[in-house]
Amino acid sequence: MSEEVQFLSPEAAGKIVAAIQEEEDVHRPDHRILTVYNYDDKEICWFDYEEVMRDAGVDKKDAEAQQKVTDYILQRIPDWALDI
- pLDDT confidence of residue 48: 96
pTM of the model: 0.89
- pLDDT confidence of residue 1: 58
In the chain, the amino acid numbered 14 is G
- pLDDT confidence of residue 63: 80
- pLDDT confidence of residue 68: 93
- For 4-47, the pLDDT digits (tens) are 889 999 999 999 999 999 999 989 989 999 999 999 999 999 99
**Beta bridge partner(s), residue 36:** 20, 45
Average pLDDT (51-67) is 88
User: In whole angstroms, what is the distance from residue 19 CA to residue 52 CA?
Assistant: 16
